[in-house]
Structure 1
Amino acid sequence: MPTLLLVRHGRSSANTSGILAGRTPGVTLDDTGRQQVQALAERLAPVPVVAVVSSPLERCVATAEALRAVDGPRGRHRHRPAVVVEDRLSECDYGEWTGRSLRDLAKEPHWAVVQQHPSAAVFPGGESLRDVQARALDAVRETDARVRAEHGDAAVWVAVSHGDVIKAVLADALGMHLDAFQRVVVDPASLSVVRYTATRPFVLRSNDTGAPTDGLVPPRRRRGRRAAASSDAVVGGGAGSGAGADPAAPGRSG
């Protein structure tokens, strides 16, 4: 069966702003994000990718283009197909929450639903997380079947998307109810690997960033006390562990 490489876009100009960007146009990779994507592209250079599909948003398309532009081992140019935009891999439509501060959103009554019962979460004026998962899975399954028909069981392909979207796909592959998907972490420029078979999916890798262990160091004590880590999941995906994020903050968009 084909192997799917799920890639979250590199860190964007919104990930460190404290704003839920959602589908806001003009959100691009920042300098760190471009470096992250370049590093991932070099790691994936030896892999014979036969298809690259991407969310239509700028930060994902830029990531996808970078992944197909890197030369292979020993400087050999590796031919990779053009990026195909797949609207169903787009960011969640956060509706009236788009553009708002995450700190303010964490005070909304609906925040608790998003955190604790996401299968019931419908963003005001936007879409539900159930619909996000359904459309993303349709896109992934249909593309995987097409790749298999055109390139065979050994084919490898890439899908570039957003934090919450990839979390929803991984939750399904892991056999988790959508209400548990907030337990999944997907950092910027991370690589998760899924293989769909006739009977079940296999998750071969999750949130692989090839990163150093800085993010595992406990946070500094504040005013004589250790800062308490928030149990809230990062709505939108976040800027990644080890990115200098306040562990007690509700998160940063992605």
Structure 2
Amino acid sequence: MVRVATLLLLRHGRTTANADGGLAGRQPVELDETGRAQATAVGERLRSVPLAAVVTSPLIRCRQTLDLALPQAEPVVAEGLIECGYGSWEGQPLKKLAKEPLWPVVQQHPSAAVFPEGESMAAMSARAVAAVRAWDARITAEHGPEAVWLACSHGDVIKAIVADALGVHLDLFQRIVVDPASVTAIRYTPLRPFLVRLNDTGGDLSGLVPPPRKRRRRAARTTDSDAAVGGGAGAAR
């Protein structure tokens, strides 16, 4: 039976830019009071999950989130998880940006969106997906298939990773919601990824820890790449 690691995607807590309705981008905005409380709360939930590794976007709001949520962790910076480069849009109010000609493209056809003096959304998606898949393979190889690891990143980045896991076009990723301090879980298998949890802001996370490996009869042909016909038994064990 093929076993795979489990990736937990954590969005940083709310920032001053989020609260003010601005687009932070790669600016060094920090968590506000609500964001710090969110980070502390998600840390309580993560206590039940033994993490083999923690990686993070280099931006300060992600580092602050992890300092509060997982103070004993030693996060490794992964440049591929940095926020989308919004270029000249950064630091501007969303209400103002909504009047720009590029706004409907970002909403309806994001795969064609290229931000002035910045990055394209397609490039952001490609490098973020490549980063998490490479880290997942590395952590599985180093820590074994029962490993659970965490990556702290940003809303659009996580949405792009989720869209890839679901096998949907980037043009549909605006239908996905990823709230501040939410947890999303993905398992990459040899045949397909599985989206195990999405935008979880309050549930018990202990069920995301894979159960101990059990011996299977040789006649059993299922692998972790197979979907459970009928829906399966869930995380209970």
TM-score of the superposed pair, with normalisation by structure 2 = 0.82
CA distance in 2, matches of 1:37, 1:203: 23
List alignment gaps of at least 5 residues for structure 2: 204-237
Alignment of 1:1-254 (within 5 A): 1-25=4-28, 27-69=29-71, 81-210=73-202
Kept in 1, the 8 Å contact 2:41–2:69? The answer is no
Q: Deviations over 1:147-186 (max 9, x none)?
A: 0011000000000000000000000001110000000000
Partner secondary structure for residue 146 of structure 2: coil
Q: Deviations over 1:70-122 (max 9, x none)?
A: xxxxxxxxxx6411011110111100111111111101111000000000000
The runs of 4+ residues in structure 1 deviating greater than 4 Å are none
Q: Which amino acid aligns with 2:93?
A: S
CA distance in 1, matches of 2:54, 2:165: 20
CA distance in 1, matches of 2:88, 2:201: 32
TM-score of the superposed pair, with normalisation by structure 1 = 0.77
Partner secondary structure for residue 17 of structure 2: coil
The structural deviation recorded for 1:66 is: 2.5
Q: Which amino acid aligns with 2:11?
A: R
CA distance in 2, matches of 1:120, 1:40: 35
Partner secondary structure for residue 122 of structure 1: coil
CA distance in 1, matches of 2:200, 2:54: 19
Q: Which amino acid aligns with 2:52?
A: V
Q: Deviations over 1:199-223 (max 9, x none)?
A: 0000000000018xxxxxxxxxxxx
Kept in 1, the 8 Å contact 2:183–2:199? The answer is yes
The structural deviation recorded for 1:29 is: 0.8
Kept in 2, the 8 Å contact 1:55–1:91? The answer is yes
List alignment gaps of at least 5 residues for structure 1: 70-79, 212-254
Kept in 2, the 8 Å contact 1:65–1:83? The answer is no
Q: RMSD of the alignment, in Å?
A: 1.0
Kept in 2, the 8 Å contact 1:50–1:81? The answer is no
